[in-house]
Structures are given as structure tokens and as C-alpha cells.
Amino acid sequence: MSAIETAAGAIGTIEQGSGGVPIVFLHGVGSDKTVWRPQLAHFGAARRAVAFDYPGYGDSALRDGATRDDYAAAIFAAMDSLGIARAHVCGLSLGGVVAIAMHARDPSRCASLILADTFAVHPDGQGIHDRSVAASADLAALAQARVGVLLAPGASPAIRDEVVTTMAAIDPAAYRIGARAVWLADQRDRAAAIRVPTLVMCGAEDRITPPALSEELAAMIPNAALALIDGAGHLANLERPAAFNARIDAFLAGIER
């Protein structure tokens, strides 16, 4: 784990592999780049795979008042520093919101979008935002209270511990900025304008961003594919990595042949 210097300041980065069209991974509001380790190991075997932190998260420098569009600009700046002109962009939850913002900023840099456990607009976004901000002073307590909702009932104790530990380590100021970026998003117009190949995925047991929101998002995006991951909650990539990775493999094989 490390940070790279970019035009947007220091951005935390983990990468693995080389060659092919790179794939970039974007984490959720209660996480950081390390949540993507199962994907970095898998996709790094065949191509360059990179996970980034947003400003204020993990190894990235805090930027007061950052917006989802600022996050998108920061990821592009990090890609520039790594010499990545174009990539498949895979984002989960807040990461999906940022991926849509990246496409709106510069679609030519998005080879495809993979939008997991996310939405264009959340019907209870304001409420979730307000509750998140109110509880943000003690993220360890919030993580303990939320882990049972974030994960499907079958999640292992090790995954539960990982989620709690990662969330508890987030800077509360960064978390509040991230909460605003994700939960108050309304990107319906941006989603409807997407023209790159797109895969929308969701844990079948996701209670934070239920499958209905992914179905709604996929319906907005011309020719988007939709896939549900059985046995997964909101963190589908971590709970069911083999199924999550296999679905992306099939999607990439279809568009890169």
C-alpha cells in the first residue's frame, strides 16, 4: 500500500499485474482501497488492476468540501500519474456513483463501467446521509451497528471483522464528505447518457441498495447488462468474490473479443 503524487494531491493506490486494458476499482463510503484485494489478485493475473482511495480515505490526502465530481477528477489525476489513459471502471456503492461521474466528465477514458450495489438516485438518500453524519463521530460504534445490515447473514466472522476494522479507521471528516457524495447523488440524467458497455451488479441480499435500485439503474442505461450475486449483501465483491469476479470476466470477454 502506498500513495502516489497527482495533480489532485496524494492518492492512495494498490496495483497488481500488467498488460491489457487496465481495470480500476473504486470503493464504498465505509471502506477503502483494501476491500478490492480479492479482485486485484484475480484480475491482476491477466491485466493491470488498480484500486484507489478517494481524497481523505486510506493513504490519500484530505480535501475539505470535496464532491463526487472532485472524486472523479482525483481518480483521473491518479490514472494520469500511473500512465493509464483508459480503463474499465468498476465501482461499488459510492464507487458506482463516482464511476458515473467519471463517465460524465470524460467518457473516452472509460472502456466500460461496472456498477455494483449502487444507484442513480436513492429514495432514502437524505435519511441515510443524515443518520450517517449524526453517527460519524464514533465510526467504530457505527461499524459495529451497521455490519449486520451491510453483509448477508451468511458472511463469515472474518469478513465481518474486516469490514468493522476498515470502517473504524476512516477519518470521520472524510466519511462525512463521502456520505454527502454518495447518498445525496441524483445522476439519473448522467446514467441515461452512458453509451459505453455497462454491467450493473448487485448482491441479491443487499439491504442498503436493494436489487430494485440496480434494476432501475440498468433500465436507464442503454444496453446495460444486469446480474445478481446470490448469497451477497451490500459488499458483493468481498462476500462472494468468486461469483463477482466470474461475472466480470464474462462481461469483459464479451466486449474485448
> Which residues make Cβ contacts (< 8 Å) with residue 123, sequence separation at least 6?
none
- State the pLDDT at residue 81: 97
Which value, to the nearest 10 degrees, does the dihedral of the CA atoms of residues 32, 33, 37, 41 take?
170
Question: In what side-by-side order are the strands of the sheet with 9-16?
Answer: 2-6, 9-16, 49-52, 23-26, 87-92, 110-116, 198-203, 225-229
Q: How many helices (H) and strands (E) does the chain have?
A: 11, 8
pTM recorded for the entire structure: 0.97
**Do residues 8 and 37 make contact, with C-beta atoms less than 8 angstroms apart?**
no
pLDDT in tens, 15-44: 999 999 999 999 999 999 999 999 999 999
- State the pLDDT at residue 1: 59
Residue 257's pLDDT band (boundaries 50, 70, 90)? confident
**Do residues 15 and 48 make contact, with C-beta atoms less than 8 angstroms apart?**
yes
Number of Cα atoms under 13 Å in the Cβ half of residue 133: 15
- State the pLDDT at residue 69: 98
C-alpha cell at 81: 500519474
Mean pLDDT of 180-191: 98
Total residues found in the chain within this entry? 257
- State the pLDDT at residue 242: 98
**Do residues 36 and 241 make contact, with C-beta atoms less than 8 angstroms apart?**
no
Residue 59, pLDDT above cutoff 90? yes
Residue 83, pLDDT above cutoff 80? yes
| β-bridge pairing 49-52 and 87-92 | unpaired
Percentage of the chain beyond pLDDT 70 is 100
pLDDT in tens, 103-141: 999 999 999 999 999 999 999 999 999 999 999 999 999
**Do residues 190 and 107 make contact, with C-beta atoms less than 8 angstroms apart?**
no
SS3 label, residue 153: coil
Q: What are phi and psi of 47, to 5 degrees?
A: -160, 170
Q: From the centroid of its chain, how far is CA 173?
A: 19
What DSSP string runs through 178-238? HHHHHHT-B-HHHHHT--S-EEEEEETT-SSS-HHHHHHHHHHSTT-EEEEETT--S-HHH
**Do residues 73 and 8 make contact, with C-beta atoms less than 8 angstroms apart?**
yes
- State the pLDDT at residue 206: 98
Instruction: Output the CATH code of domain 2-256.
Output: 3.40.50.1820
